[in-house]
Structures are given as C-alpha cells and as structure tokens.
Structure 1
Amino acid sequence: MKALSQPAEKAPNLPRCVRKYQLRDYFGCSYRHLWRFIITEDLFLSWGYDPDKLKRRRIFSPELTKLIYTHFQIRDLDADLSEEITGAMQENQGS
C-alpha cells in the first residue's frame, strides 16, 4: 500500500516588489485607511521616501518593499490576519 503523501507546504507569498493592492488586501482595509493609519506619510518620510510620489505608484521598489516587510513583520502576504485583528480590537475595547 502506498502511504498517503502530505500536501506540500505552500511557500510564503513575498514578492520582491510589493504592489499596493497586495498591502491593502493583506491588512484588509481600504486604500484610504492604509495611507492614513498604517503606512503613513511620516513613515515614508522617516525612510527617506517622498509620500506624494509613492502614492502614484502601483508597485514599490525592492528596497522599500524590504522596509515594509521588516517594519510590519510580514512573512506571508496570504496570511490570514483576521484572528490577530479581532484580538487587537478586543484588547483596545477592554482598555
């Protein structure tokens, strides 16, 4: 008898150059919320990037992508954040 093979683990989805829609989908929010509260102008400026130029781009450079992944500890853009977001919201409501 053949042993049932385990499905291969899916490699993390971490493209070299992240697209804006991937970040929006990852955080589960609108573009407006993404730029206002998550990836803010101050954050871009602290990294030495002009936020006005970046908002017109669809895809970010490899250098900026690496900064975003590191800052937000993103290990897989396909990860399900619903439990983390729900837990964080409950903690904030309890305070």
Structure 2
Amino acid sequence: DRPALRVLPAHPYEVASFKRCKVNIDYHIEVNGSFYSVPSALARQSVDVRLTAHTLEVLHGNRRVASHLLLGRRGAYSTQREHMPAAHQAHRE
C-alpha cells in the first residue's frame, strides 16, 4: 500500500452547509439572527450562502461576492464599506 499513499492535504476538511437567502433593501442578509452585507446592486435578489464553522460566503451566479467572519451574537451587523452605495459611503464619512 505504501506506493499508493499520497501526502495529506495542507488544510483539514471543513464541513459546510448551504442556504438560500433574499437580500433586503438595506443590502444585508439575515443568517442565524445576524446580518451580513452584500454588494448593494444585489438588493432584493436571491443569493446562496455557504456556512462553515467560522465563515460565511455569499455566492451569486456561482461567483463569490462577499465573505464575512461569523458574528457571535444575534442582532449584530457586519457591513463592509465597499458594499455600500456611494451615497451611504458619503453619509458615513
């Protein structure tokens, strides 16, 4: 068997689950009671979410459009500046 053995992968296997979400008008999705931003152009559209033990990835059209670390408490928001429309970015500053 030794000749058939291969090197173990550099990273351990990570279990992931998938969920379908609809983006709210405020360009956030709700997952497990917390809210995560996506690009504002996707407001009111459906996206797929890939959840692991520590991260959340948002997929649209088989392309990753956002990635966040999971938040530990319900009602918390994770908003990335580049997901905001220009008017909201200006107001934030």
Q: TM-score, normalised by structure 1?
A: 0.26
Between Structure 1 and Structure 2, the one with more strand by share is 2
Between Structure 1 and Structure 2, the one with more helix by share is 1
Q: TM-score, normalised by structure 2?
A: 0.27
